[in-house]
Amino acid sequence: MASPSDPAPDAPRNSTSESRPPPAPHAQLGQLLRGSLVTQLIHVAAKLGIADRLRDGPKGVDELAVATGADARALHRVLRALAGLGIFAEAEPGRFSLTPLAEPLRSEAPASLRGSAVLYGEPWWWQACGELLYSVRTGQPAFDRIHGRPLFAYLEETAEAAAAFNEHQTSMTQGDAAAVVDAYDFAGCATVVDVGGGHGALAVAILRASPRTRVILLDRPAVVNGAARRLRAHGVGNRSSCVGGDFFESVPEGADTYVLKDIIHDWDDERALSILGNCRRAMAHSGPTARLLLVEKVIPPGNEPFAGKMTDITMLLVAGGRERTADEYRALLAGAGFAVRRIVPTRSPASVIEAIPA
């Protein structure tokens, strides 16, 4: 007997996702095959700043088109497709609003992904991603083939690309940094060298979490000015300093803690060992409490989804580096004279690999 809440036998079934059967494998694969279109749709919305323009409420597509210099009909088609994915909503014909999935595309959102959405669709980045077969056949980064030089050399020479890359890195680090300082206690660290610290998102998080800690941020000379501005803007400039340099040559000496976030994964083993060796030499006179912290996505065993498995493909394509398993990190660090003491997971995909001089 049907309960009062059940539909009548001949009534149409509710068409919500809960009542639909799971899609067949060919339909699931077909959706995945369109992932490149999804990336470009999100990129266009981010590049045009659509989410920022909808911050104060819904707007018509004609108004959005005028504000962004877009063709109204084409923009409507893009936003309609995104709304079908849950990114924006068309509450009435031609009028769009934010959804929870669209919120991270706002520039000022707490966990903004706008910088990443812009980067992933930029032609100079996108072209390398289209050459995965080359990288699989050769083991070499497609980026170098497309652009005639490695990623970081390209960024040094191309200001617009560097700005997009740095914004992406900062937004990614802000999300990870909060998780890192929640999971790992920096209170006992007197001086931290943030090796390859970018624009200072991790340094800010460490300094805020540990009022007695000082941070020395090392990065390329073209980057550290932006880091110094961020540190001052967050009120921690008096406990930090920025050093322009090259971690393949040397890192500042004498600190008790050296942290490298998303640095080692950029490089093959040979170049990674060069960076780690410079850290080991800098720690030679740091005392018995000296420690090295790698903040990386440690690849777990098994077939479960994990963000690092996709980042690993990005490393293959654009930088020539790789994500590594826990055992691979242990072996790599041992080769540079370190012993892994523990691996601390965080609520983000990143873990903190704590190592000490062997």
- If we measure between CA atoms, which residue out of 142, 198, 193 comes closest to residue 172? 198
Q: Are β-strands 191-195 and 214-219 bridged in parallel, bridged antiparallel, or unpaired?
A: parallel
Amino acid at 187: A
What is the C-alpha R_g of the chain? 23
Residue 26: active-site member: no
331: number of CA atoms within 13 Å, CB side?
A: 7
* Residue 89 neighbours by CB under 8 Å, 6+ apart: 83, 96, 97, 98, 99
* Residue 326 neighbours by CB under 8 Å, 6+ apart: 298, 343
Distance CA 61, CA 82 (A): 13
Strand partners, 295: 261, 352
Q: Which residue has the tokens 């490089």?
A: 267
Q: Which residue has the tokens 């809440």?
A: 5
Terminal CA-to-CA distance of the chain, rounded, Å? Answer: 72
Q: Is the dihedral of CA 253, 259, 261, 262 positive or negative?
A: positive
Q: Where are the beta strands (DSSP E) in 30-142?
A: 59-60, 89-92, 95-97
Number of residues written out for the chain: 358
- If we measure between CA atoms, which residue out of 352, 323, 356, 340 comes closest to residue 182? 352
Distance CA 223, CA 196 (A): 9
Catalytically annotated residue among 43, 168, 199, 265:
265
**Helices 72-83/61-68 angle, 10° precision:** 120
Distance CA 252, CA 258 (A): 9
Residues with catalytic roles:
265
